[in-house]
Structure 1
Amino acid sequence: MDIFTKFKTLETAFAHLSSISEHNPFGTTIEKMISATIGIINGKETLLFGTNNYLGLSQSDAARHAAADAAMQYGVGTTGSRIANGTYSLHQELEQDLAKFFNRRSCMVFSTGYQATLGMVSTLAGKDDYLFLDADCHASIYDGSRMSQAQIIRFRHNDADDLRKRMRRLGDIPGIKLVVVEGVYSMFGDVIPLKEFAQVKREENAYLMIDEAHSFGIFGEHGRGIAERDQVEADIDFTVGTFSKSLGTVGGYCVSDHPQMDLLRLCTRPYMFTASLPPEVIAATKANLEIIKNHPELMHKLMDNASRFYHALQSAGFLTGPDISSVISVILEDLVQASRFWNRVLELGAYINLSLPPATPDSRPLLRASIAAAHTTEQIDKLVQIYIQAAQDVGVPLKKN
């Protein structure tokens, strides 16, 4: 036995996938960016529908100029964590901007979205506390829960009644109860019925954290996410999210009204022991946040695109997720079918994501498309036709309407 023996099952599974897939779905290289929606893959122009670039802001001129200016003024890295030499005035300005955007007292900025959820979950819940996690929560949330040493209790996906039952089984057992949910879940793109969860939170005197990674900049009158859309922001104790979706950069955040938030800077390990974001990333993020604040038409265009794509897929006979959001997934039945479909879509000129069990919610593979405000109607319609052609070419049955 050697140190890699434990990965034998993974090695076998990947070898099988490679044998049926001409291209590696987990190692696709974008050789050049033409625009927010077109890149060069395998030497040819390809429609980008798998990038999470929901508002197209990774290519915004304002962000690029801000990044260039910041790099010239501050250099390209801080070489230290936020509690050492890694706090620049830009970091504090972005935290203030985000807190103001969310109408919250405090904000902490992390170097990645993964670290934001990992750090907050692992720090807020101690060994005598209880973490209630939606069964479909992101891996970073589950990783944070293991670091926390808290008692972990999973409840059925998007099922507030199941959460209520599980919380009441504890009775009067002491310990803080922290519920962690997401606004939009990244596999199916399904949306949480947040009002129902807010009601349980109030009934059970719990704390509620929401990850708005895939809903920030997309839902709510001002783009603050599902909590704003459902008018329950007052019930949310902690909102976490990422810069790598709608904001088009990299990094993460947590905003809260709790006055003790600054204490967490001194005990949240992913914040304390990671080099802070470089100045150019902070400057670009600040610039893109201004765009989101001042251009609500972007989220309206995104949702128009998502609705058009979703309804076209259903009309064509594809099995989709339950909701219209920034993520639109097609559900297939087996790995071979899904891999061939993904490869054929790429050959026909579009890049999407292939998601495989055990990462998917119900052990079926998914073809996952990220819809962006920057996509044109013609690009949306072309992707629908590519899906239909790919289904015909690889033998994916479509249900008759």
Structure 2
Amino acid sequence: MTEAVSQPDRPQQFEGGERDLFSKFDELIQMREGLLASGMEDPFGLVMERVLSPTVAVCNGRETILLGTYNYMGMTFDPEVIDAGRTALTDFGSGTTGSRVLNGTYQGHKEVEQALCEFYGMDHAMVFSTGYQANLGIISTIAGKGDYIVLDIDSHASIWDGCKMGDAEVVPFRHNDIEAMEKRLRRIPEGAGKLVILEGVYSMLGDVAPLKEMIAVARANGAMILVDEAHSMGFIGPNGRGVAEEQGVLDDVDFVIGTFSKSVGTVGGFCVSNHPKFEIMRLVCRPYVFTASLPPSVVATAATSIRKLMEAGDKREHLWSNSRKLHKGLKDLGFRLGTDEPQSAIISVIMPDLEKGAAMWEALLHEGLYVNLARPPATPANMTLLRCSLCAEHSEEQVDTIVGMFERAGRATGII
């Protein structure tokens, strides 16, 4: 007879003895239930009942200013963009029902890729069904087993997932730390494939990377360079090509990743490159090969929007004016912000903790303002943030109104 032994606590099980695979989420479930039990709105489940413009929607039956949509250039309601989508929907139908390498390439897909090549002044463009898939596909395909990826610790989840899928050796370094990046590059075995991944604007704090210095270090150490410009395309740089253009190093970047779901105002992702072998990616990149292509109406709106962004200098300047105005207004009120000076269209307001952040988020919603409540583990250094995303269509008067809403909500919650 075997001797009985005590068993450690086991995960919750069903009647049949199967392990409950949801047990790993219990802490998050309890956190969410705790917030909702207080009677507050769900900060992660807001419903827009009607969208009136790029900057205003009806939420919970009242008009609400939108300050958390990433609609940086306000292209979602542009009449020419909408007309292009409507025409494509009529002429080509609602979807392609196929991947790009089979029956899923329509004329519109070639046109949007041509628009991207012209926008960035590059030879090749490859469009994906989402920005997430663009990072997942490009990173996992070009850096695999035996290669090394050196990346900023604050990189987006899609970047980390692309690294994991490709099975390369991942070497992170402290956020925006040039010296730390260089040390890690120097430790990589000689002859190994090396990819450095950076972002132009980091989406949580809205801060900008020192790309000029970092790219010089990467080049000196024989690495290829990928820059994600999702949060800078359209408004940073003389032509809206992003931080790499602004800092004069776009020609030194091997791959630029971007998305249509922000400044372009629709959905989809892309990679542009001057690498002479880039076109082989269409046959070897699994998230591209095995995914249905974007609907014709989507690529038509994207191509039209991208071409309009080439001539959007006035809108870029107005967006920068909005960013400076809001940053100063919140800073003068005593809020703690993610950056000392405005660096992008993202302005993050740092909250004392999740409970206070949720209370502030709800107070702002009751004022008629929607922002993003961002929490750990998505945020750096376990911070809770109220993330504000400005739009080129916000008027000066709306920005003044937003500052007033923050002041009233901040005083009501005791944050200022």
With the length of structure 2 as denominator, give the TM-score of the two structures: 0.94
1-side partners of 2:144 and 2:323: how far apart? 40
2-side partners of 1:386 and 1:362: how far apart? 27
Q: Which amino acid aligns with 2:368?
A: G
CA contact (8 A) 2:203 2:346 kept: yes
1:357 to 371, 376, 394: 376
| Structure 1 residue 90, shift from structure 2 partner | 0.9
In the other structure, the counterpart of 1:49 is 67
1-side partners of 2:231 and 2:399: how far apart? 20
| Structure 1 residue 21, shift from structure 2 partner | 5.7
Q: Which amino acid aligns with 2:370?
A: Y
CA contact (8 A) 1:20 1:336 kept: no
The 3-state SS of whatever aligns with 1:362 is helix
| Structure 1 residue 295, shift from structure 2 partner | 2.2
In the other structure, the counterpart of 2:313 is 296
The 3-state SS of whatever aligns with 1:189 is coil
| Structure 1 residue 93, shift from structure 2 partner | 1.2
In the other structure, the counterpart of 1:67 is 85
2-side partners of 1:141 and 1:295: how far apart? 29
The 3-state SS of whatever aligns with 1:31 is strand
1-side partners of 2:394 and 2:58: how far apart? 16
In the other structure, the counterpart of 2:140 is 122
1-side partners of 2:39 and 2:132: how far apart? 29
In the other structure, the counterpart of 1:167 is 185
2-side partners of 1:17 and 1:255: how far apart? 42
1:105 matched to 2:123? The reply is yes
The 3-state SS of whatever aligns with 2:214 is helix
Q: Which amino acid aligns with 1:275?
A: A
1-side partners of 2:199 and 2:39: how far apart? 32
| Structure 1 residue 170, shift from structure 2 partner | 2.3
Please give the per-residue CA displacement for 1:132-169, whole angstroms capped at 9, x wherever unaligned: 11111000000110001000000010111110011112
1-side partners of 2:354 and 2:294: how far apart? 38
Q: What percent identity do the matched residue pairs reach?
A: 45
1:228 matched to 2:241? The reply is no
Instruction: Report the more deviating stretch, 283-292 or 222-231.
Output: 283-292
Please give the per-residue CA displacement for 1:305-356, whole angstroms capped at 9, x wherever unaligned: 0010001111111100114111000001111100000000000000000000
2-side partners of 1:361 and 1:6: how far apart? 22
2:408 to 375, 389, 392: 389
CA contact (8 A) 2:63 2:368 kept: yes
2-side partners of 1:59 and 1:117: how far apart? 27
1-side partners of 2:383 and 2:219: how far apart? 35
The 3-state SS of whatever aligns with 1:45 is strand
CA contact (8 A) 1:237 1:256 kept: yes
The 5-angstrom pairing of residues 1-400 of structure 1 reads: 1=13, 2-20=20-38, 22-172=40-190, 174-322=191-339, 323-324=341-342, 325-396=344-415, 398=416
Instruction: Report the more deviating stretch, 17-26 or 292-301.
Output: 17-26
Q: Which amino acid aligns with 2:204?
A: M
RMSD: 1.0
1-side partners of 2:387 and 2:405: how far apart? 14
Instruction: Report the more deviating stretch, 322-331 or 252-261.
Output: 322-331
CA contact (8 A) 1:21 1:340 kept: no
| Structure 1 residue 8, shift from structure 2 partner | 1.5
| Structure 1 residue 386, shift from structure 2 partner | 0.6
Please give the per-residue CA displacement for 1:354-380, whole angstroms capped at 9, x wherever unaligned: 000111111110000100100001111
Long gaps (5+) in structure 2? 1-12, 14-19
2-side partners of 1:293 and 1:41: how far apart? 33
CA contact (8 A) 1:90 1:283 kept: yes
CA contact (8 A) 1:77 1:279 kept: yes
| Structure 1 residue 17, shift from structure 2 partner | 2.5
Q: Which amino acid aligns with 1:153?
A: V
1-side partners of 2:39 and 2:201: how far apart? 30
1-side partners of 2:281 and 2:310: how far apart? 28
Task: Name which one, 1 or 2, has greater alpha-carbon Rg.
Answer: 2
2-side partners of 1:4 and 1:195: how far apart? 44
1-side partners of 2:367 and 2:167: how far apart? 48
CA contact (8 A) 1:20 1:339 kept: no
2-side partners of 1:159 and 1:61: how far apart? 43
CA contact (8 A) 1:81 1:87 kept: yes
1-side partners of 2:51 and 2:22: how far apart? 36
1-side partners of 2:177 and 2:348: how far apart? 21
2-side partners of 1:39 and 1:126: how far apart? 44
Instruction: Report the more deviating stretch, 280-289 or 2-11.
Output: 2-11
Long gaps (5+) in structure 1? none
Q: Which amino acid aligns with 2:136?
A: L
Please give the per-residue CA displacement for 1:205-233, whole angstroms capped at 9, x wherever unaligned: 10110000000001110000001100001
| Structure 1 residue 15, shift from structure 2 partner | 1.4
2-side partners of 1:13 and 1:310: how far apart? 31
Please give the per-residue CA displacement for 1:263-307, whole angstroms capped at 9, x wherever unaligned: 111111111111100000011111111211122111111011001
Q: Residues 92, 43 of structure 1: CA spacing in aligned structure 2 closer, same or farther, 3 A cutoff?
A: same
Instruction: Report the more deviating stretch, 93-102 or 251-260.
Output: 93-102
